[in-house]
Amino acid sequence: MPDNVLFEGGAGETVRKKLLENTELHTILRLPTGIFYANGVKANVLFFDNKPAAKAPWTKEIWYYDYRTNVHHTLKRKPMRFEDLADFIACYNPVNRHVRKETWDAEKNPEGRWRKYSYADIVARDKTSLDLFWLKDSSLADLDNLPDPKDLAEDIVENIEAGLNNFRTVLAALGK
């Protein structure tokens, strides 16, 4: 899902509430720009199990893995590979996803990418937003450690191309 699905109001909020109530949404993997969708679009993978109708919401907690903050991939020079997700897979614990341990700790490991939020934490958020982040972007804080200029230039080109493609789609729709 693109990022806006996690936080937009109106129909998006209604869909999120129903998703939390009618399925067991248990994991969200936050991915960097341009992995699944058009260049410039941040994506998320939502893991949930369908459940039968019930009075109480099925979702009790949501585990997040932030594979976005301080991670840099480009479509051409540094594409994401299966090996890049090894830590996520270990944290997810596919053998028994009910036995998991956070890697994030405010004092001991503030850079941990794996953390959980309770259902109560989520529904208390404005518009039941699932757009959560806790890691600090080191490139914004450390000006001496910026990404390679060629990587920055590729990102800029990808974002401009994505914007142009979106405008072409709008223009085509208007022309009908």
pLDDT tens track for 100-148:
999 999 999 999 999 999 999 999 999 999 999 899 887 665 555 666 7
pLDDT one-digit tens code per residue, 61-83: 999 999 988 887 776 777 889 99
List the one residue out of 69, 68, 20, 80 whose CA is nearest residue 44. Answer: 68
Q: Is the pLDDT of residue 48 over 70?
A: yes
Give the C-alpha separation, 90 to 94, whole Å. Answer: 8
Q: Report all structural domains of the chain as residue ranges with CATH numbers, in order of start.
A: 4-174 (3.40.50.150)
pTM reported for the whole predicted model: 0.77
pLDDT one-digit tens code per residue, 11-45: 889 999 999 999 999 999 999 876 765 666 788 99
Beta carbons of 113 and 87 less than 8 angstroms apart = yes
